[in-house]
Amino acid sequence: MNKCKTSLLLAMVLMSVKGMSQARQEYLLEKNWKFAKGEHPEALNEAFNDKGWESVTVPHDWAIKGPFDGNNDLQKVQIVQNGEQEATMKAGRTGGLPFIGKGWYRLSFAVPQFSAGKRVVLLFDGAMSNAEVYVNGKKAGNWPYGYNSFSFDITDYIHAKGQNTLAVKLENFEQASRWYPGAGLYRNVHLIVTNDTHVPVWGTYITTPVITRDSAAVRMVTTIDRSNKQAAVTVKTNLLNAAGKIVATASAPLPADSSRVTQQFSVAEPALWSPETPVLYKAVTQVYEGAQLKDVYETPFGIRSIEYKAGKGFLLNGSPRKFKGVCNHHDLGPLGAAINTAALRRQVTLLKDMGCDAIRTTHNMPAPELVKLCDEMGIMVMVESFDEWKAPKVKNGYSLYFDEWVEKDLINMLHHFRNNPSNIMWSIGNEVPDQSSANGAAIARRLQDICHREDPTRPVTVGMDRFDDAINKGFAAVLDIPGFNYKPNRYPEAHNKLPQGFLMGSETASTVSSRGVYKFPVEFFKNKMYDDNQCSSYDFEACSWSQVPDDEFVQQDDLDYTIGEFVWTGFDYLGEPTPYDSKWPSHSSYFGIFDLAGIPKDRFYLYRSRWNTQQATLHLLPHWTWPGREGQVTPVFCYTSYPTAELFINGKSMGKISKDTSSNQSRYRLMWKDVVYQPGTIRVVAYDAAGKAVAADSVKTAGTPHHIQLTADRTVLTADGKDLAYITATVVDADGNVCPDADNLLQFEVSGAGKYKAVANGDATSLELFHLPQMKAFSGKLAFIVQAGEKAGSIKATVKSDQLQAASCVLKVK
Ligand code: GAL
C-alpha cells in the first residue's frame, strides 16, 4: 500500500501540471518515457519489461542525433514540380537522418484524481507518424498523419488505482516526404482529466461578428459532452481583458436536446488584435450541473476583423495591408522536429525584427505553441494542412491516406486553431498535382466547403504552381484566395482571368545562398552549382522555377491587387538541399533568410530594409577579406532602408547611388558593381530623402583568427528544464574584426544550472552532429544552444579552440 502511494505521488511529481482547477486537471506527459527503435509488438502489454530501453523526455525526435548518411531515405526520383526530366538519386532530400522505421514509446503513469464518473483523455499535439496508441494493453486509437493533433478518450482503459501503461507505436516509411519530417513523439502529449459533464478538446468556438470602435459583439459556441442528458446544465462565461478584468459575462442553460450552447457578449471599447498590438482576451467558461461546478474551460481569443475584397485586397481591422510573410518548415534545425517554445520564440523574435508580419506553416499543421506565440507576439498565420491530396508527389505520401482521413484531419485542424486571432486564413494544400486532374477543382471545393462549414470566418487558399492548369481547369477560380507559387510575372494574367479580384504570392523567391559565401563573377544564375556545394550570398541565384527577391517586390509594389507574399523560407531547414539535391553531403536547405543556426544571411537585411518600417537598416556586403583578389572586380552591395548612399574604399569615394527604377534590383539595392578589391576598409554613408547624411557602416579586412566572441540572445532563463539561450560564437582577429573564412573547430563546456544542448553552423554540407559539444565555425560563426535546468543558479558557457583565445559567458537561471 505504501509502495503504491509512493509511486503514485512520484508520478504526479514527474508530470508537469498545465491546468488545475477542482473541475479539470491537465498534465503534460514529458518525463520518464522509455523508447526503443524497431518493432516490439509485445511492448503494448502492461507486463512488458522496458528497463533496457532508453529513457527519454518528450518532445523527442529519435533521429536528430544522426548519424547522417546518404543512404537514409535515399530517393531515386524525378521531381516533377521542379521541372526535372528524369529520375536521379537524391541523398539529402529528407535530411540524411535515420528517421525511417518503427519506434516504440512507453510510459507508466498515474491518473491523480481519477474516480468513477471522471473522463480521461490523451491529447497528442502530433506524433511522427502512423501512431498506434495503447493504454493498459488495449488499443485506444490510431492516427496516420504525423503533423496533426488528435485525442482519444481513454477512460474505459484506465485503472481506477495505481499505475497505467501507455504504449505508442510509430512508423515512418521511406519516400513519404520531400523534407525532413522528424521522428517520434516530437510534440507534446497531454493527459486531461475531467468530470463526465465537461467541455471536450477544442470544444469552444469564438467569433467576433461585429466590431466597431465602441463595441465588439462576441459570439461563443460551447460544446458539452455528458452521459446524463437529463440533468440541467448551465454554462456561465466571463470574458476577461488582457489585465484580467471581467469585461462581459453571460449565463445560459444548455438546451435539453442539444450538446451546444451559444452565448453572445458585447465588449465595450475593444482593444483590437493586430501584429502591432497583439492584445488577447480570455473566455473563462464554467459548466454547472444543478449547483455543482463540473468544468472550467479557458479559451484565449482576440478581437479583430479580416476582409478580403476585390478592389481592396486584404484588410485587417479595416486597414489594407500586404502580407510580409515567410514560409517555414516545422523543424528547429539542430533540435530537429522536437518542439521547444523558447526555440520558436527566438524564431518569431528574429522574424519580427525583420518586419515580417506573417508565417505560412508549410506544408502542414503547426505546433500549437507556434500559433500561441503568434497570438501573443503578433504574427499573422496561414495555417496549412497538406502537401498532397489524391495525386502523389512521393511514393508513400499523404495520398495513401487522403480518402479515409482528409476530412478527419481537416476537422481537427479547424477546431484546434479556429479561436486563434493570429490565424487569418486556412490553406488546404500546397502545389497539389490535382490542379491538373479532371476532378481537382471538385476536390478543392469539397475541402474548402469543409473549412467553411467548421469555420465560416476564415477564407481558404491553396499554393498553386501549375498556373495554366489551375486557371484553365477551373481550380483557381474555386478558391477564396488564389495563391500562386513563383509566378510574379503572371499575376496580371491571373488577375484578368480570375473572379476574385486579388491574389497572393503564397510562395515567393526561393533564392538560394550560403551565409558568408560569395561567388565571382556576380551574375544572375538559375540552378547554379559550385564545387564546394555552396551558393552565393550576393542574392542573385535562384532555381529554374524561382526568383530573386526583388522580382517579387516589384509586383507586390506595382500591382494593387496583390495582397502580399510568403517568402520561401524564413529559416533554412533539414532536407531539400536544392540546387544540390543530387550532391551529397548537402542535406539542408539554402533557401532560408536565416541559416540553419538561425544566424541571418545577407538577405535578412534586404527584407528588413523593406519590411521593418520602424527601424533603419544599413548593411554592406560582401566581407572584405580577400587575399588573392587584389586588383579584381569585387562588387559591393548595400541593403538599406535609406534611399541613397555613398561608398568609400580606403577613404576614396566610389560614388553616391540612389535607388532607381532602371532594374528590379536597383529599386531595392544599392550596388557598386565595378569596385576593385584592395585590402582595407569599405565604408558606406547613408543619406535620407532630404539628402542629409544620417548613418554609416563599415567592414574591415580581417587579420588572422585570434579569439572568440560570444553573444547570447538571452541572459536570463527560466528554471523549467526547457528554456534555451542561443549563443553565437564568432571568430575574430586581434582587433575584433570577424574572420569571414574561419572554420576553427570550437568546443563547448557548459556548467552550473544548465546544460549544453546542441549546435549548428549553417553549413548545409557539414556532417558534424548537432548534439556533440563541438563543431567547426562556418564563415566565422556558429550558434550553440544552452538549456536551463530546473533549479535557479547561473550557467557558465565556455568556448575553446586550439589556436584561439577562449571565451566564456554567464547566464542566470531564475
Ligand atoms: C516549392 C514547394 C516547396 C519547396 C520549394 C523550393 O515548389 O512548394 O515545398 O519545395 O518549391 O523552391
Q: Which fold has domain 31-194?
A: Jelly Rolls (2.60.120)
Ligand 1 centre to CA of 89 (Å) is 18
CB 645 within 8 A of CB 531: no
What is the atom index within ligand 1 of the atom nearest the CA of 82?
7
Fold (topology level) of 618-700? Immunoglobulin-like (2.60.40)
Give residue-wise pLDDT tens across range 779-803.
999 999 999 999 999 999 999 999 9
- Strand partners for 432: none
| Spacing, Cα 731 to ligand 1 middle (Å) | 34
Ligand 1 lined by 431 (C-beta under 6 Å): yes
Task: With a cut of 50, say whether residue 115 has pLDDT above it.
Answer: yes
> Quick one: which atom of ligand 1 is closest to the CA of 543?
12
Assess whether the region 336-508+547-571 and the region 707-813 belong to the same CATH fold. no
Question: What pLDDT score does 213 carry?
Answer: 95
CA distance 527 to 512: 9
Predicted pLDDT of residue 241: 98
Closest atom of ligand 1 to 430 CA is 8
Ligand 1: residue of 431, 435, 544 to mutate (most ligand atoms within 8 A of CB) is: 431
Confidence of residue 20 (pLDDT cuts 50, 70, 90): low
Rg of the chain on CA atoms, in Å? 27
Q: 497-520: per-residue pLDDT in tens?
A: 999 999 999 999 999 999 999 999
Per the document, the length of the chain is 814
Give the pLDDT mean for 735-739: 98
Output the pLDDT for position 21. 67
pLDDT tens string 560-574: 999 999 999 999 999
The predicted-structure confidence for 579-632, as pLDDT tens digits, reads as follows 999 999 999 999 999 999 999 999 999 999 999 999 999 999 999 999 999 999
Sequence letter at residue 618: L
Q: Residue 133: which H helix or E strand, with range?
A: strand 131-135
Rounded percentage of the chain residues whose pLDDT exceeds 90: 95
Taking CA atoms only, the protein residue closest to ligand 1 atom 7 is 81
Backbone angles phi, psi at 773, to 5 degrees: -80, 45
Cα of 96 vs centre of ligand 1, distance in Å, is: 18
Verify whether ligand 1 is closer than 6 Å to residue 510 (CB atom): yes
How high is the pLDDT of residue 22? 77
* CA angle at 383 for the pair 93 and 594, rounded to the nearest 5°: 50
- Closest atom of ligand 1 to CA, residue 546: 12
In angstroms, rounded to a whole number, what is the distance separating the alpha carbons of residues 724 and 786?
A: 6
* Structure confidence at residue 6 (pLDDT): 31
pLDDT at residue 15, as a whole number: 56
Atom of ligand 1 nearest to the CA of 463: 8
Q: Give the residue carrying C-alpha cell 502545389.
A: 431
Q: Is 507 in the pocket of ligand 1 (CB under 6 A)?
A: yes
Q: How far is the CA of 488 from the centre of ligand 1 (A)?
A: 15
pLDDT above 70: percentage of residues in the chain: 97
Question: CA neighbours within 13 Å on the CB side: how many for 555?
Answer: 26
Report the residue among 385, 432, 510 best suited for mutation to probe ligand 1: largest number of ligand atoms under 8 A from its CB. 510
Residue 430 Cβ < 6 Å to ligand 1 = yes
177 lines ligand 1 (CB under 6 A): no
Give the three-class secondary structure for 446: helix
Distance 311 CA to ligand 1 centre (A): 29
Half-sphere exposure of 556 toward its Cβ, with a 13 Å CA cutoff? 28
Alpha carbon distance 177, 192 (integer Å) = 32
Q: Out of 394, 576, 580, 591, give the residue to mutate to test ligand 1, the one with the largest number of ligand atoms within 8 Å of its CB.
A: 576
pLDDT digits (tens, 9 = 90+) for 39-58: 999 999 999 999 999 999 99
CA distances from 803 to 49, 748, 750 (A): 50, 15, 20
Identity at 127, one-letter amino acid code: A
User: E strands, 416-568, where?
Assistant: 423-430, 460-464, 481-485, 503-509, 525-526, 541-542, 562-568
pLDDT of amino acid 80: 86
The whole-angstrom separation of Cα 37 and Cα 50 is: 12
Residues 6+ apart with CB under 8 A from 278: 302, 375, 376, 377, 378, 422
Strand partners, 332: none
pLDDT reported for residue 5: 33
Residue whose C-alpha is closest to residue 505's, from 577, 567, 434: 567
- Verify whether ligand 1 is closer than 6 Å to residue 347 (CB atom): no
Q: What are φ and ψ of residue 605, in 5° steps?
A: -75, -30
Q: Residue 68 corresponds to which amino acid?
A: F
CA distances from 504 to 169, 358, 380, 560 (A): 40, 13, 15, 11
Q: For residue 13, what pLDDT band results from cuts at 50, 70 and 90?
A: very low
Residues 707-813: name the CATH superfamily.
Immunoglobulins (2.60.40.10)
Q: Specify whether the CB–CB gap between 425 and 418 falls below 8 A.
A: no
Q: Give the separation between CA 124 and CA 107, rounded to whole angstroms.
A: 14
Sequence-ordered list of residues with C-beta below 8 angstroms from that of 251, at least 6 positions apart, any chain:
234, 235, 236, 237
For 336-508+547-571, CATH gives 3.20.20.80
Over the range 64-102, which residues count as b (16 or more CB within 10 Å of their CB) and which as e? bebebbbebbbbebebeeeeeeeeeebbbbbbbbbbbbe
Q: Three cell numbers at 306?
A: 479580416
Strand pairing report for 16-20 and 24-28? antiparallel
CATH of 3-16+199-301, one of 3.20.20.70, 2.60.40.10, 3.30.930.10, 1.10.10.350: 2.60.40.10
C-alpha cell at 688: 535620407
β-pair partners for 462: 429, 482
Question: What angle (nearest 5°) sits at the alpha carbon of residue 375, between those of residues 370 and 379?
Answer: 80
Residues forming a β-bridge with 233? 289
Specify whether the CB–CB gap between 545 and 510 falls below 8 A.
yes
> Considering only CA atoms, which residue is closest to atom 2 of ligand 1?
431
Q: Which helix (H) or strand (E) holds 611?
A: helix 602-611
Q: Is 342 helix (H, G, I), strand (E, B) or coil?
A: helix
Q: How far is the CA of 484 from the centre of ligand 1 (A)?
A: 12
Residue indicated by cell numbers 560563426: 781
> Mean pLDDT over all residues of the chain?
96
Active site residue ranges: 431, 507
Domain boundaries, the chain: 3-16+199-301, 31-194, 336-508+547-571, 618-700, 707-813
- pLDDT tens for residues 523-548? 999 999 999 999 999 999 999 999 99
Instruction: Quick: pLDDT tens for 682-734.
Output: 999 999 999 999 999 999 999 999 999 999 999 999 999 999 999 999 999 99
What is the structure's pLDDT at 168?
Answer: 99
CA–centroid distance for 69 within its chain: 25
DSSP, collapsed to helix, strand or coil, labels residue 253 as: strand
Regarding the beta carbon of 543 and ligand 1, being less than 6 Å apart is answered yes
Asked if residue 428 has its Cβ within 6 Å of ligand 1, the reply is no
Q: Which three cell numbers stand for residue 526?
A: 538559375
Asked if residues 680 and 721 have their Cβ atoms less than 8 Å apart, the reply is: no
- End-to-end Cα spacing for the chain: 38
Confidence of residue 83 (pLDDT cuts 50, 70, 90): confident
